């Protein structure tokens, strides 16, 4: 049965939709929490889904936390969640380098402590995190000492990103055999009150521009995030639901992987955004139209309690 896209999910349709899936993948920020505050009702939704026999996963582009850090944050907010249900880009990048790139060598890391820890956990050495001060003049910068064992530059969120880090990345990437991997391309991190700070996409663009080549990105909407979950838990894509607040990452990932998609309006994207994609008729933009939308995932509660 063909269902028209971007349908308001309510009434009996909620139960019908939930009955049609075994696994639910949730984005985190703007979906189950905003910053450090759980979305009201979200812990109950997650916990009841599990109680009703659904598999639940947390899939986030944010690279600043390890799986363990996410599991701790979830527990603190009242979510019943295990470390192996969390798929953040710090962890997924390490998986990508180990299992897809089969990297033999070290990583020059533009990223966080969490990324360092996830890389170390799978046995990948890296060059360290933190500030990289500038000294000398331009010709010195072009000849900065490089670690000959580095075979990949990996870019995630790095609050210490600087001109010298960009320069060092360029010097490594002058070697065409050195890989360039980015965690995600989100351009802004939304904050409360309509404020925002630059996201990893800005840092990655700077590195791509300097290196004059494109990175392989790991995060949503790239299907690798879903592949990570699916390969570890044997998911059936026809019985999976992706829930997110962003059309260009969460919903597009779901479309790219053939999952059912649900937009929640507690975060970044609006119904008007989705309708604009739908009306465009452009095949590329149609992937950003969700199957369903809700005001908040709390709207799933009655169907789960019934």
Active-site residues: which are they?
27, 29
Of 208, 245, 248, 291, the one binding Mg ion by CB under 5 A = 245
30 binds Mg ion (CB under 5 A): yes
Name which of 182 and 199 has its Cβ closer to Mg ion: 199
Task: Give yes or no for residue 248 binding Mg ion (CB under 5 A).
Answer: no
Query: What secondary structure, in 3-state letters, does 157-217 show?
Result: CCCCCCHHHHHHHHHHHCCCCCEEEECCCCCEEECHHHCEEECHHHHHHHHHHHHCCCCEE
Residues 77-116, one symbol each (x = binds Mg ion by CB under 5 A, - = not), give ----------------------------------------
Nearer residue to Mg ion within complex by CB, 61 or 171: 61
Of all residues in the shown chain, the one whose CB is closest to Mg ion is 30
Q: Which of residues 171-200 bind Mg ion (CB under 5 A)?
A: none
Distance of CA 67 to the CA centre of its chain: 13
Nearest distance in Å: CB 167, Mg ion? 32
In whole angstroms, the minimum distance from the beta carbon of 285 to Mg ion comes to 19
At 74, list the tokens: 């979830």
Interacting residue with Mg ion among 17, 27, 59, 264 (CB under 5 A): 27
Q: How many residues bind Mg ion (CB under 5 A)?
A: 5
**Of how many residues is the chain composed?**
306
Compare residues 13 and 69 and give the one whose CB is closer to Mg ion: 69
Distance between CA atoms of residues 241 and 115, nearest Å: 27
The rounded radius of gyration (Å) of the Cα atoms in the chain is 20
Residue 212, Ramachandran bin (φ over 0: left; ψ between -120 and 50: alpha; else beta): left
Which of 27/291 has CB closer to Mg ion? Answer: 27
Other Cβ atoms within 10 Å of 18 Cβ, number: 17
Asked whether residue 245 is marked as a ligand-binding residue, the answer is yes
Report in angstroms the alpha-carbon separations of 62 from 80, 109, 159, 171, 196: 20, 16, 13, 27, 14
**Interface residue with Mg ion, options 21, 29, 97, 173 (CB under 5 A):** 29
Residue 68 among known ligand-binding residues:
no
Please, which residues have CB within 8 angstroms of residue 160's CB and are 6 or more apart in sequence?
A: 129, 130, 131, 132
CB closer to Mg ion out of 166 and 199: 199
Site string for Mg ion, 43-82 (x = CB under 5 A): ----------------------------------------
Q: Are 237 and 25 in contact, with CB atoms under 8 Å apart?
A: no
- Stretch touching Mg ion by CB under 5 A, among 221-229, 253-261, 265-273, 278-286: 265-273
The DSSP call for residue 298 is G
Contacts to Mg ion by CB under 5 A: 27, 29-30, 245, 267
Known binding residues: 27, 29, 220, 245
């Amino acid at each position: 049965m063909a269902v028209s896209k971007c349908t308001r999910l309510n009434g009996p349709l909620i139960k019908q939709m939930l009955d049609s899936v075994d696994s639910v993948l949730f984005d985190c920020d703007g979906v189950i929490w905003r910053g450090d505050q759980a979305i009201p009702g979200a812990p109950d939704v997650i916990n009841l889904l599990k109680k009703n026999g659904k598999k639940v996963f947390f899939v986030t582009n944010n690279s600043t936390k390890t799986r363990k850090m996410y599991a701790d944050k979830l527990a603190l907010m009242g979510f019943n969640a295990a470390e192996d249900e969390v798929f953040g880009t710090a962890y997924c990048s390490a998986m990508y380098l180990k299992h897809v790139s089969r990297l033999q060598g070290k990583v020059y890391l533009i990223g966080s402590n969490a990324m360092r820890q996830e890389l170390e956990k799978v046995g990948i050495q890296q060059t360290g995190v933190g500030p990289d001060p500038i000294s000398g003049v331009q010709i010195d910068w072009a000849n900065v000492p490089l670690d000959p064992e580095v075979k990949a530059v990996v870019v995630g969120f790095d609050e210490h990103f600087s001109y010298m880090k960009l320069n060092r990345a360029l010097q490594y990437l002058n070697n065409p055999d050195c890989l360039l991997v980015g965690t995600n391309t989100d351009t802004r991190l939304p904050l409360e009150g309509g404020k925002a700070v630059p996201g990893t996409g800005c840092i990655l663009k700077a590195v791509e521009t300097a290196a004059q080549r494109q990175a392989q990105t790991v995060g949503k909407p790239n299907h690798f995030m879903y592949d990570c979950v699916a390969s570890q838990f044997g998911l059936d894509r026809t019985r999976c639901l992706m829930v997110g607040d962003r059309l260009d990452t969460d919903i597009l990932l779901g479309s790219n992987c053939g999952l059912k998609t649900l937009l929640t309006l507690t975060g970044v994207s609006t119904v008007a955004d989705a309708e604009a994609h739908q009306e465009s008729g452009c095949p590329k933009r149609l992937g950003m139209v969700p199957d369903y939308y809700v005001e908040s995932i709390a709207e799933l509660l009655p169907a789960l309690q019934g």
